[in-house]
Amino acid sequence: MADRKWKVCLIGSGNWGSAISKIVGNNVTKSAEFDDDVPMWVFEEMVDGRKLTEVINTDHENVKYLPGVKLPANVRAVPELVDAVKDATILVFVLPHQFVKKVCSTISGHIAPGAMAISLIKGVDESKGGLELTSTVISRELGLDVSVLMGANIASEVANEQFCETTIGCRSDTMGPVLKRLFETAYFRVELTHDVHTVELCGAIKNVVACAAGFADGLGYGSNTKAAIIRIGMMEMVRFARMFYEGVRDVTFFHSCGVADLITTCYGGRNRRVCEALVTQGKSIEELETEMLGGQKLQGPPTALEVNKLLAEKGQVDAFPLFRNVHRICYEKAAPSTILTGL
């Protein structure tokens, strides 16, 4: 891209997307290698009688998904997806994973030559072979090289500039430093690795462990039990990654995408909160998603389902007792009290 600037487009504008837009919007103005204009695709909806895009572009605040945080004026809300990606050469995917295929279908054929993508989506997709990483879906659907960004990054804390770290998995020695300059700030430290699959797998599977932590919290267990669940969960994550992917590097699990994200999710994430409520309130996950998440879906239970399918095909379900127990509680009506069985 020596002959022209990188143009960044944010595909998604929820809680995490808006927090990241603050970082990206500020960083592109600090380097001549980036275009200052940052289009952000916003799913249009009405908020207090006004279009959300109008609110963001006028007040520079996403009042619905990240209230109280001012966004840079160069972040431009765009309601039409194809218009948003026009001429963009770095596509930042930061939307719920269940919408990825539809988004890719919409923008296919409208992407600038030489473009690349980076996924900030912590989730997996279902395929005939079982679990499929979101970056794989984007790459296949659009024919792009896809990097990933994962870490212990609670959106509200990042938006309020509380120090944290994140991990970017990027196979290219050229693009890695570009992405680091795009996302890194004094409060948002970026580590680079070539181990893309492990980075992304950590971001998805840690939600299964978070469900286990939530069940334990609901049952009234203390810090010792929580620590044991985190340790056992981490070991199952490592073994699962080694079983299904080549080239896994153990050191990646010690990056922010690994142990740090796991700890944060097991103490403060939505999967933990909803699974705790399942125990204390006796309601179904579907009911709690409606009540606590406004209908948004958890990633932990469906990931546990896909993980269990893959392990069953290899006859290895009982070799991963924590993953097995979460699956049984979520889908086979096992009692939450069985979460420690066989550990």
User: Residue 328 and residue 138: Cα distance in Å, rounded?
Assistant: 31
- At which residue do the structure tokens 């680091």 appear? 180
- Contact between 276 and 218 under an 8 Å Cβ cutoff? The reply is yes
Tell me how many degrees the CA angle 111-171-23 measures, rounded to the nearest 5: 65
Q: CA 154, 159, 162, 168: dihedral to nearest 10 degrees?
A: 60
- Contact between 153 and 146 under an 8 Å Cβ cutoff? The reply is no
- b/e map of 179-210 (b: 16 or more CB within 10 Å)? bebbbbeeebbbbbbebbbbbbbbbbbbbbbb
- Contact between 213 and 269 under an 8 Å Cβ cutoff? The reply is no
Neighbours of 61 (CB within 10 A): 15
Whether 206 sits among the annotated catalytic residues: the reply is yes
Q: CA nearest 172: which of 215, 117, 217, 125?
A: 117
Q: Which residues contact 256 (CB under 8 A, 6 or more apart)?
A: 150, 151, 152, 153, 164, 165, 166, 167, 191
User: Residue 69 and residue 253: Cα distance in Å, rounded?
Assistant: 32
Backbone angles phi, psi at 257, to 5 degrees: -65, -20
Catalytic-labelled residue, pool 206, 283, 309, 314? 206
**What are the angstrom distances between the C-alpha of 165 and each of 50, 122, 184, 192, 208?**
36, 16, 9, 11, 22
- Contact between 15 and 22 under an 8 Å Cβ cutoff? The reply is no
- Contact between 183 and 149 under an 8 Å Cβ cutoff? The reply is yes
Which residues belong to the active site? Answer: 206
